[in-house]
């Protein structure tokens, strides 16, 4: 079956994008405190406390960070919906790593609360696997792509996130990561990341299997909005079953995130604008290098909602103009 061109992409960031107090200004918006409480019940953690008063070290904890980030993205999407931004007005959704669960909810695969509940189970499984064997992740910025990948193979490290724009995240043993810092690839910088383990690698196979068991019989539906897949950059449409989407999300736990391919897919389909949901910044930063010329808004506070709505309206007006 044929599929329409993607015009606007609504994107959700992944782990590491969280900042202390990021939910505080949102709680002043009518109805948001109740939504946060609903998500807290779903995830079985106090997202209100972690989004307002918990410090940076506390919210780095995988079991807290993942549901907090997904809930935050869905809160920003809820506020956008009150301004008329509905799934029907979105060209595509996508998310980086755990952000893909928020994107799947926006695409209609899960309800918002169901997505947060499922992410709570994912986060618990991944935190447990990370505690079982010391491991970590480091961003490799710049350098020749093939030379970087060759160096990672030498050290037994996995390119866990292929982010595009000259950024690859390496993951594996702490010893190998220390060697990467000591002797980086030519013309590359290595920045250790504050994460608990080697996510999206074989270190997470235990977590993937535990998560698969927890997600068995989880209620899902086919995507109503095109959904970018981290696995291979595929754009999943309504002819993809909810079970197929869920299987991709389960496998993602122990498989590399191919954000480079997601960005390639956006480029190939002629994306005209990007809105990155709370806590925005990381994906729009990558887009500036990989999707040059595509206007983008990162939502970091309620003040950014007006900018996002303006961009969405501009993109919609341009599309109507071209159609005429």
> Is position 252 within any domain?
yes
pLDDT tens by residue, 179-213: 999 999 999 999 999 788 999 999 999 999 999 99
* 302 Cβ contact partners less than 8 Å away, ≥ 6 residues apart: 25, 26, 28, 29, 79
Q: What is the pLDDT of residue 100?
A: 98
For residues 286 and 247, membership in a common domain is answered with yes
> Is position 197 within any domain?
no
For residues 163 and 94, membership in a common domain is answered with no
> Is position 285 within any domain?
yes
For residues 219 and 105, membership in a common domain is answered with yes
Q: What is the pTM of this model?
A: 0.95
**pLDDT(138) > 80:** yes
Mean pLDDT, rounded, of the chain: 94
% residues pLDDT > 90 (the chain): 89
**pLDDT(3) > 90:** no
Mean pLDDT of 147-152: 98
For residues 308 and 238, membership in a common domain is answered with yes
Q: What is the pLDDT of residue 319?
A: 63
For residues 95 and 221, membership in a common domain is answered with yes
C-alpha dihedral sign at 56, 57, 60, 61: negative
What CATH number does residue 181 fall under? 3.30.70.250
For residues 153 and 228, membership in a common domain is answered with no
**pLDDT(119) > 50:** yes
For residues 45 and 62, membership in a common domain is answered with yes
Compare 324 and 293 and report the one with higher pLDDT: 293
261 vs 258: CA distance, rounded Å: 5
Which residue numbers are catalytic? 97, 200
Mean pLDDT of 66-95: 93
What CATH number does residue 310 fall under? 3.40.366.10
Cβ atoms of 279 and 13 within 8 Å: the answer is yes
Domain of residue 177, residue span = 136-192
């Amino acid at each position: 079956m044929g599929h329409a061109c993607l015009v606007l992409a609504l994107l959700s960031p992944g782990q590491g994008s969280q900042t202390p107090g990021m939910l505080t200004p949102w709680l002043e918006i009518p109805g948001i405190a109740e939504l946060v409480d609903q998500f807290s019940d779903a995830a079985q953690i106090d997202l209100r406390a972690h989004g307002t008063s918990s410090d940076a070290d506390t919210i780095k904890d995988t079991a807290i960070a993942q549901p907090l980030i997904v809930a935050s993205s869905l809160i920003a999407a809820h506020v956008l919906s009150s301004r008329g931004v509905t799934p029907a007005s979105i060209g595509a959704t996508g998310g980086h790593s755990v952000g893909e669960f928020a994107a799947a909810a926006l695409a209609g695969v899960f309800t918002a609360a169901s997505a947060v509940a499922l992410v709570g189970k994912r986060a618990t499984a991944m935190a447990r696997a990370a505690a079982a064997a010391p491991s970590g992740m480091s961003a490799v910025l710049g350098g020749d792509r093939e030379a970087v990948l060759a160096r990672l193979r030498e050290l037994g490290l996995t390119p866990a996130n292929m982010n595009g724009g000259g950024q690859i995240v390496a993951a594996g043993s702490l010893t190998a990561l220390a060697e990467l810092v000591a002797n980086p690839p030519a013309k590359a910088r290595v920045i250790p990341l504050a994460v608990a383990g080697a996510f999206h690698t074989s270190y997470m196979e235990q977590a993937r299997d535990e998560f698969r068991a927890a997600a068995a019989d989880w209620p899902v539906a086919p995507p109503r909005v095109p959904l970018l897949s981290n696995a291979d950059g595929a754009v999943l449409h309504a002819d993809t079953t909810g079970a197929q989407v869920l299987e991709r999300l389960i496998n993602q736990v122990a498989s590399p995130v191919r954000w480079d391919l997601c960005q390639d897919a956006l480029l190939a389909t002629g994306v005209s604008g990007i809105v990155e949901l709370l806590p925005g910044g990381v994906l729009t930063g990558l887009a500036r290098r990989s999707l040059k010329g595509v206007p983008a808004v990162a939502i970091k506070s309620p003040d950014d909602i007006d900018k996002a709505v303006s961009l969405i309206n501009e993109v919609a007006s341009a599309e109507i103009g071209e159609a005429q």
